Amino acid sequence: MNRKSLSVFAAVAVAVLFVVLIAVRASTGSPLVEITTPLGVMTLLVGVAAFWFWLEQASEWRIFNFLPPLLWIYATPIILSNTGVLPFSSAAYAGLREYGLPLFIALMLIKVDVAGAVRIMGKGVFVMLIGSVGVVVGGVAAYSIGVWAGVLDPSIWPAFGTLSGSWIGGTGNMNAAWAALEGRPEHMTMAAVADNLVYIVWLPLLLGSRAFAERFNRWAGVSHDRIERMEEAALAVTEADHAPTMTQILYLALIALTTTAVSVWLAARLPELALGGQPVITESTWVILLVTSISLLLSVTRARDLPGAQPIAMAIIYVFVASVGARANVANADLGQMGWFVLAVYVWIFIHGAFILAGAKLFKVDVHTLAIASAANIGGAASAPVVAAHHRQSLVPASILMALIGYAVGNYLAILTGRLAQLIGT
């Protein structure tokens, strides 16, 4: 049996298993099987993440271009916990939230190279940052309109902060913002669903913008040699990452663990801050802000040269995403709020688009840079290289660096978005 045939068999088997789990739970009120130990829970979460990435690679199905593994990794534990296979609460989930998430942030942010991105993209980096500001403004505006119109419950402000984390940085920022804002599982569900519904509309727009390159560049007043200068700078950027040695892995582990330990220790001793009677910076928020700041300081040291940080970090965050899904109780889902939230999110994304366009006009950057800048925000490190490869293959390394800058500022701005929405809703 070849890989594609095996992938079809595996997908059908999983679908049948889901049906059986739901049917048994509905008919008997008891789960078919129950996993409660932290070790068993963690093993299943890692297995879920590994399965969906294997299925994507083995099957090469186009559906994963629109519904990426992240969404399936999040949704599968929802089914497992709501059919009783996984618990809604576990020490494994708490450990991932308290320690796994900070470890991810430390490993991811020590690879940020702001200078490298600026050398290649020039003023395009500022366009991306303007797009990030557009995410903050758009999120607060969309929330305010929804609350003012009476269609959004003011208490869902953490969902706006959570989604802004994804749109400014990426999956890791989304989860970091959710944890820092002490969101509930349903807030993550709303953010994850809306994120993917917008992604399947916004990504084609960014890809299709290449067809308007000449007209757009005339409108924006782009200099004739800008693209040539970008490509020359890109040639000077080499990919130095390689398979890490055992010693380098130990160094990475020491750096990430020390950063996390120091951040957790300091956060427990710093005062919580409030504004207007509402908490603005809690202990959870302090942990995220501290680990982000310390990691960015480390990114200007030789720690940035250590290979292997990004794949390890991404493995951690995908397991964390699975744990968040396992905590979501569908019995508490409010489908009406979900619909209005998605509508507000479409208003939100076009506000971001307006900011990106204004930034491109202000700094006279080309449509390729504009598309990459928006993708670095809305899609993060997963989408920015895709858009870059479609527009200008030579800009792929710069797109990754740009996305990492989004990771760097994402935690700060996502927390700001959530807290501003909270203050407006009170």
Helices (H) and strands (E) in the chain, counts: 20, 2
Residue by residue, pLDDT tens for the chain (426 residues) are 677 788 888 889 999 999 999 999 889 888 889 999 999 999 999 999 999 999 998 888 888 877 778 778 988 998 999 999 999 999 999 899 889 988 988 888 888 777 777 777 778 889 999 999 999 999 999 999 999 998 999 999 999 999 999 899 887 788 889 988 988 888 988 898 888 788 778 878 888 888 888 888 889 888 777 777 776 666 655 455 578 899 999 999 999 999 999 999 999 999 888 766 667 788 888 888 899 899 989 988 988 888 888 888 888 888 988 998 898 787 766 677 888 999 999 999 999 999 999 999 998 888 888 998 998 888 776 678 778 878 877 777 777 778 888 888 888 999 999 999 998 877
Dihedrals phi, psi of 269, to nearest 5 degrees? -110, -5
pLDDT at 343: 92
Compute the CA torsion angle 373, 374, 375, 377 (nearest 10 deg): 90
d(CA 285, CA 408): 15
Question: Residue length, the chain?
Answer: 426
**Nearby residues of 12 by Cβ (< 8 Å), 6 or more positions away:** none
- Measure the CA–CA gap between 372 and 356, rounded to whole angstroms: 11
> Which ranges constitute the DSSP H helices of 364-395?
367-378, 384-391
- Tell me if 82 sits within 8 A of 298, measured CB to CB: no
Question: Comparing C-alpha atoms, which of 101, 170, 123 is closest to residue 405?
Answer: 170
pTM: 0.77
Structural contact between residues 100 and 333, judged by C-beta atoms closer than 8 angstroms: no
As a whole number of angstroms, the distance between CA 286 and CA 279 comes to 12
Angle at 219 between CA 359 and CA 397, to 5 degrees: 55
From CA 272, how far away is CA 281, in angstroms rounded?
6
Q: Is the dihedral of CA 91, 93, 95, 98 positive or negative?
A: negative
* CA nearest neighbour of 323 among 91, 67, 19: 91
Torsion sign over Cα 22, 23, 26, 31: negative
